Amino acid sequence: MFIRHFIDGVFVDSASEGWFSNTNPATGAAISQVARGEAADVERAVAAARRALHGPWSQMTLASRLDLLEAVADGIMARFEEFLEAEIADTGKPRRFASQVDIPRGAANFRAFASLGRGAASESFLSDTPDGLGAINYVLREPLGVVGVISPWNLPLLLLTWKVAPALACGNTVVVKPSEETPTSAALLAEVMNAVGVPPGVYNVVQGFGPNGAGEALVRHAQVAAITFTGESRTGTAIMEAAAPSLKSLSFELGGKNAAVVFADADFDKAIEGTLRSVFSNCGQVCLCSERVYVERPIFDRFVETLAERARALKLGDPREQSTEMGPLISAAHRDKVLGYFALAEAEGARVVCGGRAATLDGELSAGSFVEPTIWTGLGEQARCVREEIFGPVCHIQPFDSEEQAVQMANDSDYGLCAAIWTQDLSRAHRLAAQMQVGIVWINSWFLRDLRTPFGGVKRSGIGREGGRHSLDFYAELKNVCVKL
């Protein structure tokens, strides 16, 4: 299979005619050849996006534009199985996760922002003037222009559409650079865009790599008005540097080293269930996953043993099987990085409660990038394994003796994306929620998302908020109009 760029409504090869290989991480087999985009391809895509921005897209009424976004959502659902197979093959994520999370959310993103676009209000103020007659101020929302969307591999369709949908709802056109690990769903989405009648040039995809490739060229392009990026914090730094000369708007959703805090008064079974999900979902490759778990001392031993028992029982296997609970990591390179942390944890003095090694499966899965679900205890809070984002199926569990100590340890991180708090004491829950240095706090839950809420991180976990009207604010230029009466 060949995956090409999508520029101006057609699939095209790279100007350089370069290709790279896309691998299925469950088997190690090459599954497609992907066009390797460079600056010349980005140039073509931005030119097409500019033509569409000033042409057909701007001439559509808001209502018909938003109707098209609804049609895109329907188009994704109509090809649910194809999107599902593509996401499973590119990422190795289990069918049950992708079918419940990735694909439905891909469609839901378009519906949510079509609806938000319809309901978007504008501020207005009546102002005093020296002559006593006053003035009315109101706000117009205008497109930013061509928006560059750079997305990661862990939730490919979900995170791409999370940015494309609001950008289009606000009247922008987009050039998307999907992760080089997961090129397929962005190309399938291009087919849906064409099928439902999104004008050529509104949605463009340039495949390829980041540094010195399509990603960097997109960031540096003077006619790209904004970059919305999800990925690693250090990539955020590189993008900010490269974007500086052209002074673009930037929205960053970055890494995490998230804490789960479990109090002795929590509903034990629910806390175990929730923490099992928050540590091991998508093989630990969700930015919101918990890698640090703090458990109040009276239930510490029981919690560690129960969670380990559940982790050992997780069914590793072929991601295409409905019964599989954990698939491989995204690539052999990422598996080696995670195994490096497994070795480091032991060197740092961890007690390995379960897992800690590569997992070897049979048959065609024997070349897959599988590792065991892993739990550590006994590390100090300054250990690298407790401070650095690993992005694998692993957590460290630490006991605590007081609420103050739990807050202090949870907040002692360079990151601040989310936290999960498990307690039945509601006053304590609210008290802790206010003290957590993060963008999102879940009380007695995890990854429960309402797309109208602000989403983002503090510290090294991000800059800005997307979600609901916060997305509409990022993807629009707000113009104040002052009318003297």
Helix axes 268-280, 300-312, angle to 10 degrees: 50
Residue 417 within binding range of ligand NAD, rule CB under 6 A: yes
204: its two tokens: 């463009």
Alpha-carbon gap, residue 376 to 353, rounded angstroms: 6
Please tell me whether residue 69 adopts helix, strand or coil conformation.
helix
Q: How far is the CB of 287 from ligand NAD (least distance, A)?
A: 3
Q: Which is nearer to ligand NAD, 75 or 256 (CB)?
A: 256
Residue of 24, 172, 235, 377 interacting with ligand NAD (CB under 6 A): 235
Residue of 24, 179, 281, 290 interacting with ligand NAD (CB under 6 A): 179
Question: What letter represents residue 358's amino acid?
Answer: A
Verify whether residue 289 is a known catalytic residue: no
DSSP for residue 252 = E
Single out the catalytic residue among 170, 283, 287, 395: 287
Q: How far is the CB of 376 from ligand NAD (least distance, A)?
A: 20
Residue 389 within binding range of ligand NAD, rule CB under 6 A: yes
Alpha-carbon gap, residue 350 to 342, rounded angstroms: 9
Q: Which is nearer to ligand NAD, 143 or 178 (CB)?
A: 178
Single out the catalytic residue among 87, 181, 216, 253: 253
Which secondary-structure segment (H or E) carries 291? strand 290-296
Alpha-carbon gap, residue 151 to 161, rounded angstroms: 10
Helices (H), 294-372: 300-312, 332-347
User: Pattern 257-296, binding to ligand NAD, x per CB under 6 A?
Assistant: ------------------------------x---------
- Count of other CB atoms within 10 angstroms of residue 340: 11
Candidate segments 68-76, 109-117, 174-182, 474-482, binder of ligand NAD by CB under 6 A: 174-182
Q: What are phi and psi of 474, to 5 degrees?
A: -70, -40
Of residues 180-209, those binding ligand NAD (CB under 6 A)? 180, 209
Alpha-carbon gap, residue 210 to 180, rounded angstroms: 8
Please tell me whether residue 484 adopts helix, strand or coil conformation.
strand
Q: How far is the CB of 215 from ligand NAD (least distance, A)?
A: 3
Verify whether residue 364 is a known catalytic residue: no
Residue 210 within binding range of ligand NAD, rule CB under 6 A: yes
The β-bridge relationship of strands 351-354 and 374-377 is: antiparallel
Residue 146 within binding range of ligand NAD, rule CB under 6 A: no
Residue 215 within binding range of ligand NAD, rule CB under 6 A: yes
Q: How far is the CB of 90 from ligand NAD (least distance, A)?
A: 12
Q: How far is the CB of 239 from ligand NAD (least distance, A)?
A: 5
Residue 106 within binding range of ligand NAD, rule CB under 6 A: no
Q: Which residue from 152, 146, 212 is spatially nearest to 177, judged by alpha carbons?
A: 152
Alpha-carbon gap, residue 77 to 273, rounded angstroms: 29
Q: Which residues make beta-bridge pairs with 398?
A: 294
Residue of 71, 150, 243, 350 interacting with ligand NAD (CB under 6 A): 150
The β-bridge relationship of strands 418-422 and 440-443 is: parallel
Residue 23 within binding range of ligand NAD, rule CB under 6 A: no
Residue of 34, 149, 176, 219 interacting with ligand NAD (CB under 6 A): 219
The β-bridge relationship of strands 146-150 and 226-230 is: parallel
Please tell me whether residue 458 adopts helix, strand or coil conformation.
strand
Residue nearest to ligand NAD (CB): 210
Residue 238 within binding range of ligand NAD, rule CB under 6 A: yes
* Residues annotated catalytic, as ranges: 253, 287
- Residues found near ligand NAD in the complex (CB under 6 A): 150-154, 159, 177, 179-180, 209-211, 215-216, 219, 230-232, 235, 238-239, 253-256, 287, 389, 391, 417, 457, 462
